[in-house]
Each structure stands twice: as structure tokens, then as C-alpha cells.
């Protein structure tokens, strides 16, 4: 991915962000918080894959939020799109080569908690890899043996909590469960992962966390709750509902991220 990094260095000049944000489904409006934004389509970046899912634009943006320079990735590549859990590796590895040290991951997910419904934000404090896949399979060298004991950075989690409190946003917290997708889960699968300790379920994020830790990036992740998971009262999982609810909560997420990025996250 050195060719991609060299291309982007020429495009963005000397102002190299140390923070990157990966946007979830239909969360493109969150990018409105960027000042002096520069947008570069994935198609123009050597080696970058193109997303195939509606709600994922396929654009890398740079700009500023407060005093922080930031990359925004509008266009997640899901493992189910190519059958490859390392689908996001070209993007995350390139960001690391560009000097990014902090990765903020956003996603849309289904709640497993009856009291945390659509429209809420959930801080991910741990995960369960129910898909059983790993983006580091096939890699050689000892770098593949990463620890995930503290996959989600504690100090970054605290910064999110402070930002939510400052913005009077009721922030849930919990364990995210990764299913491969693209089909939604069955009620029996949801019952199983609730027994295992899951609090939200989705089709992304976990492989990105593993890749980020492989490249020594600090990680914080936030779920936008877009529905109740299959079999729960009031559940109706669908992609159209995901897109609709993601747009509805984008305002809260913009406020949260704006306040979060006023913090000196890399100090």
C-alpha cells in the first residue's frame, strides 16, 4: 500500500492527520463537521477497493474538526462483499503508513438490549467474533500474533463518555457481536449471542479492529442502534431501516464527534 500512501501524500501535502474516522451505513452526513474538506474518490487511489453497498460512498476525505486534522473514510468494505475478512486492509494499512495513530470506527447495529432501542448510540467496549474469521489469516511473521485484551482503548472510551456527557447524549455501552452477513441473523442466533453476553450485533467493525491493532492503531468504536435484533419485540431488521435510522441519528453523532475531537486525543 506504499503506492497509495505516496499518492495521498502528494494530494494532501504536509498536513497529515493522526486521527481517522470510518463512517458506517448512511453516516455520510457526519462528514459535514469537516472544515476545509478535500475529497478523494477510492477509484483514484491505487489499490483501494470500491464499496458495493448502498449508503457507502467510496470517498476518502481530509479536513479539520476543531484543532484536529482528520481523515474520514466514507465507504466501508464489508467482508461479505468479497468473501474476504481483510477487505479493509488496504485502507487501514495506508492510513497507518500516512501516520494515523487513532482510529474511530462507526457502524450501524441491532440492539440485543430491550431498553436500548433505535436512535441510541452505544460505545463498544469489547466484541465477540461470531463469524469466526480473521483478517490476519495467511500473514507471516510474528506481527500477526496480536493481543486483543484491550482492543478498545480505555482512554479513548473515557473521552467518548466525557463528550456524551457534555452534549447530554444518553450513551449506552456494550459488547458488539460480529456476524458475517449479508443476511440478517435468525432469532435462534440472537438468543445464542445474548446468552454469550452480546449487547449489539452487526456485519462489520471487528475485522477492522483486528487490522488496526495489527498496525498499532488505538481504537474506539461507536454503534448507531438502528433496530432491535431478530426475534425481539418490535424487531424488523432490514437494510432500508438501517439507512433510515442512521440518517435520523446523524445529528447526535455529529455533536458527539465534534466535542470528542476538541479533546487532544493523541496527547
Distance from C-alpha of 17 to C-alpha of 7, rounded to nearest angstrom:
15
Pick from 4-13, 20-29, 236-245: least confident: 236-245
Choice among 5, 56, 96, 232 that is catalytic: 56
Q: Is the pLDDT of residue 239 over 80?
A: no
- For each of the domains in the chain, give its residue range(s) and CATH number, in order of start: 2-260 (3.40.50.1580)
| Active-site residue, from 61, 80, 87, 164 | 80
Cβ(35)–Cβ(63) below 8 Å: yes
Asked whether the predicted pLDDT for residue 241 surpasses 70, the reply is: no
Choose the catalytic residue: 239, 241, 248, 262.
Answer: 239
Burial per residue of 235-256, b for 16 or more beta-carbon CB atoms within 10 angstroms, e otherwise: bebebebbbebbbebbebbbbb
Report the pLDDT value the prediction gives residue 218, as an integer from 0 to 100.
Answer: 97
Does residue 242 or residue 64 have the better pLDDT?
64
Stretch 228-257: mean pLDDT: 75
State residue 36's pLDDT score.
87
**Residue 19 forms beta bridges with which residues?**
70, 102
Q: What confidence category does residue 67 fall into, taking pLDDT thresholds of 50, 70 and 90?
A: confident
Our answer to whether residue 127 is catalytic in this structure is: no
Averaged pLDDT, 127-131: 97
Clarify whether 81 is annotated catalytic.
Answer: yes
Q: Which pTM was predicted?
A: 0.93
Convert 139-151 to b/e letters by CB count within 10 Å (16 or more is b): eeeeeeebeeeeb
Checking if the pLDDT of 173 tops 90, the result is yes
pLDDT band at residue 75 using 50, 70 and 90 as cut-offs:
confident
3 state SS of 108: strand
Structure confidence at residue 32 as a pLDDT band (50, 70, 90)? confident
Average pLDDT over every residue of 223-236 = 85
Choosing from 6, 69, 81, 134, the catalytic residue is 81
Q: What percentage of the chain carries pLDDT values higher than 90?
A: 70
pLDDT at 248 over 90: no
Give me the catalytic one of 1, 108, 200, 229.
Answer: 108
- Residue 22 β-bridge partners: 73, 105
Average pLDDT over residues 43-68: 83
Question: What are 141-146's contacts with CB under 8 Å, separation 24+?
Answer: 143/214, 144/214, 146/210, 146/213, 146/214
Number of H helices, E strands in the chain: 7, 9
Q: Which of 4, 5, 25, 159 is catalytic?
A: 25
Q: Would residue 152 show up in a list of annotated catalytic residues for this protein?
A: no
Whether 78 is catalytic is yes
Give the mean model confidence (pLDDT) for residues 63-68.
86
- Average pLDDT of the chain to the nearest whole number: 90
Tell me the DSSP string of 152-177: S-HHHHHHHHHHHHHTT--EEEEEEE
Q: Please say if 72 is a catalytic residue.
A: no
Summarize the confidence of residues 130-145 as an average pLDDT. Answer: 95
- Angle 206-214/89-97 helices, nearest 10 degrees? 30
Catalytic residue among 1, 203, 212, 230, which?
Answer: 203
| pLDDT of res. 1 | 80
pLDDT at 26: 61
User: Can 61 be counted among the known catalytic residues?
Assistant: no
Amino acid at each position: 500500500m506504499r503506492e497509495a500512501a505516496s499518492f495521498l501524500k502528494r494530494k494532501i501535502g504536509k498536513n497529515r492527520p493522526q486521527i481517522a474516522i470510518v463512517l458506517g451505513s448512511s453516516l455520510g452526513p457526519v462528514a459535514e463537521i469537516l472544515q476545509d474538506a478535500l475529497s478523494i474518490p477510492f477509484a483514484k487511489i491505487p489499490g483501494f477497493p470500491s464499496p458495493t453497498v448502498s449508503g457507502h460512498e467510496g470517498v476518502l476525505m481530509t479536513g479539520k474538526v476543531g484543532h484536529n486534522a482528520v481523515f474520514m473514510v466514507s465507504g466501508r468494505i464489508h467482508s461479505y462483499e468479497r468473501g474476504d475478512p481483510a477487505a479493509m486492509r488496504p485502507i487501514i494499512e495506508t492510513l497507518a503508513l500516512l501516520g494515523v495513530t487513532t482510529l474511530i470506527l462507526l457502524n450501524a447495529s441491532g440492539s440485543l438490549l430491550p431498553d436500548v432501542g433505535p436512535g441510541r448510540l452505544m460505545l463498544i467496549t469489547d466484541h465477540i467474533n461470531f463469524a469466526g474469521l480473521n483478517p490476519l489469516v495467511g500473514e507471516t511473521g510474528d506481527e500477526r500474533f496480536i493481543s486483543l485484551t484491550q482492543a478498545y482503548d480505555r482512554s479513548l472510551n473515557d473521552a467518548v463518555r466525557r463528550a456524551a456527557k457534555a452534549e447530554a447524549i444518553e450513551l449506552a455501552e456494550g459488547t458488539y457481536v460480529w456476524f458475517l452477513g449479508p443476511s440478517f441473523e435468525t432469532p435462534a442466533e440472537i438468543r445464542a449471542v445474548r446468552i454469550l453476553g452480546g449487547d449489539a450485533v452487526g456485519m462489520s467493525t471487528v475485522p477492522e479492529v483486528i487490522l488496526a491493532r495489527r498496525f498499532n492503531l488505538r481504537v474506539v468504536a461507536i454503534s448507531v442502534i438502528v433496530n432491535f435484533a431478530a426475534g425481539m419485540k418490535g424487531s424488523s431488521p432490514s437494510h432500508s431501516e438501517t439507512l433510515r435510522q442512521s440518517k435520523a441519528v446523524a445529528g447526535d453523532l455529529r455533536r458527539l464527534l465534534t466535542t470528542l475531537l476538541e479533546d487532544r486525543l493523541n496527547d
